[in-house]
Structure 1
Amino acid sequence: MADMIASKLLEQKKINEDMVAISTRTPGGRAESFIKRYPNVSRQSPEELANQCELLFICVPPIAVKEAVAQISPHLQKDAHIVSIAAAVTIEQLHKWTGSQVSRYIPTLTSETDTGTSLVVHGERVAEKNKKRLEEYLASFGRVKNIREADIDAASNLTSSSPGLIASIFEEFAQAAVRNSSLAKEEAFDFLIHSLVGTGKLLLEKQMTFEETLQRVATKGGITAEGADAIRQQAPQMFDEVFSRTLKKYEEIKETVSRGDQ
């Protein structure tokens, strides 16, 4: 996600290469690839980066956020704005670990195609100019939605996690077509992917709701209506289970982070 954020800002010309500095805990890999693509980006230690940058994205796993913030905090500029992309690390915890301005940002893979919704929660210390700067940057590759922190886990299922969840659903849909026909897997996937793209365009460009789309396709008593009825009978339990298990996982991560904070 760090690669995606920086790459999109550079592609959209919101920033120049000489405005970007990166620090990584794991030499090689994506960091080296990124610097090859953008040779004027500097690579620095966390302390050097904190000393020079006003806006800092912390892109590490939840359990590592405290350590990363502690490492840079003594070196931060007075007006520094820290943005954490980690799930389950709260504004309250970030405030506890640093006196700087802090925000949470939940990115989504779909931002790679300039679509999707970025979720943002700002801490009470964040100046309006810094809120505006961050949101203008993020808006260059998708929508930005300010959200109550209490809702961020459930909302993340609909934004950040949704590409994976949607892929899981339609993987099963395509496999069912293969099991119930002589279609090859590649054919089923091709048909379904193009249908997904077209449906997305209808929903966005024609501003149709899911229900309106169904009504346009499904004739009462017809084949599509029969399939839709089957989904409506079975899907609620499945999706309730999705939220039950994912929200439980968020709580488990929060407990792990809290234990490390003691």
Structure 2
Amino acid sequence: MKKIGFIGYGSMSRMIADKLLEQEKIADEMVLVSTRTNGEKTETLRKRYPNVSFQSPEELAKQCGLIFICVPPMAVKETLTKINPFLQENAHVVSIAAGMTLDRLHAWTNRQITRYIPTLTSETGIGISLVVHSERVAEDSKKRLEGYLSAFSKVKNICESDIDAASNLTSSSPGFIAAIFEEFAQSAVRNSSLTKEEAFEFLIHSLLGTGKLLLEKQMTFEETLQRVATKGGITAEGAEVIQNAMPGVFDELFARTGKKYAEIKEAVRP
């Protein structure tokens, strides 16, 4: 089987490697890691999986048929141009960086390229992996990659033009949801004698239960609201406040994040 390389060993890179190793989709001797920082996280990986090899980016490129580029967007060009002369002829390069279009990535290498947007929720085995393959990616390469990702997530192939908006709903949404419910909990504390810990506990269980209802009962958000909010009742009153206020908030969210994606694309020239 092809060896798998990870260039960069941050939060998402660790999640991908850990899930693949935990699910026994790959053996540790198949894994190579290149990282500028050696700390507690890499030491933990060494202890749990002693056959994982730590190499320079160039050496990793020589040995691996599938390579995950897990560096910040501004470091992608430097990384790809550095390893390009050493890549195997049929290498499959997977970039997880936001804002790095396939056209731009292909300006730095002519190998098979896939954009993959992971999500933190895949640490629990639940989440959507967004995937966009370039036309150069062979069917067996697509199948291999998607087989790996499906071990800990649901894989969705989407149009590249939709990837920024979709990323808001998958990769970024845990942060957005946390920000929303932090404010919800704080408001409960301000308007009652509940402690912050109690408010968090109540909301977390409500979030978990709502998610299970939506998935297991295949309910929509609208159906859930209808089940909970009796016409003229208390929940309906609160829901109306949210429905009046939130469209503008979320439109601004998409506008602001869209501007940030555009800034990243503009900053990184071919």
Which residue matches 2:6? none
Superposition TM-score, scaled by structure 2 size? 0.94
Which residue matches 1:81? 92
- Letter of the 2:81 partner, please give it: A
For 1:34-183, list aligned pairs within 5 A.
34-183=45-194
Secondary structure at 2:268 match in 1? helix
Cα shift readout 1:98-151 (whole Å, capped 9, x = no counterpart): 010000000000000000100000011000000010001001001000011111
Secondary structure at 1:105 match in 2? strand
| Distance (Å, rounded) in 2 between the aligned partners of 1:13 and 1:180 | 49
- 2:4 is equivalent to residue 4 of structure 1: no
Which residue matches 1:33? 44
- Letter of the 1:179 partner, please give it: R
| Distance (Å, rounded) in 2 between the aligned partners of 1:25 and 1:90 | 25
Cα displacement (A) at 1:26: 2.2
Partner residue of 1:20 out of 14, 23, 31: 31
Secondary structure at 1:103 match in 2? strand
Cα displacement (A) at 1:39: 1.1
Cα shift readout 1:46-71 (whole Å, capped 9, x = no counterpart): 11111111000000000100111111
- 2:202 is equivalent to residue 191 of structure 1: yes
Cα displacement (A) at 1:78: 1.1
Q: How many residues are matched?
A: 259
Cα displacement (A) at 1:29: 4.2
Cα displacement (A) at 1:37: 2.1
- Letter of the 2:205 partner, please give it: H
| Distance (Å, rounded) in 1 between the aligned partners of 2:255 and 2:231 | 33
| Distance (Å, rounded) in 2 between the aligned partners of 1:195 and 1:230 | 19
Superposition TM-score, scaled by structure 1 size? 0.97
Cα shift readout 1:65-94 (whole Å, capped 9, x = no counterpart): 011111111111111000000000110011
Which residue matches 2:236? 225
Aligned structure 1 segments of 4 or more residues deviating by more than 3 angstroms: none
| Distance (Å, rounded) in 2 between the aligned partners of 1:241 and 1:135 | 33
| Distance (Å, rounded) in 1 between the aligned partners of 2:29 and 2:177 | 38
Cα shift readout 1:142-193 (whole Å, capped 9, x = no counterpart): 1000011111001000000000000000000111111111111100010010
| Distance (Å, rounded) in 2 between the aligned partners of 1:212 and 1:240 | 23
Cα displacement (A) at 1:36: 2.2
| Distance (Å, rounded) in 2 between the aligned partners of 1:244 and 1:63 | 22
| Distance (Å, rounded) in 2 between the aligned partners of 1:47 and 1:36 | 24
Identity of aligned residues (%): 71
| Distance (Å, rounded) in 2 between the aligned partners of 1:189 and 1:77 | 50
CA RMSD for the aligned pairs?
0.8
Unaligned stretches of 5+ in structure 1? none
Cα displacement (A) at 1:25: 2.0
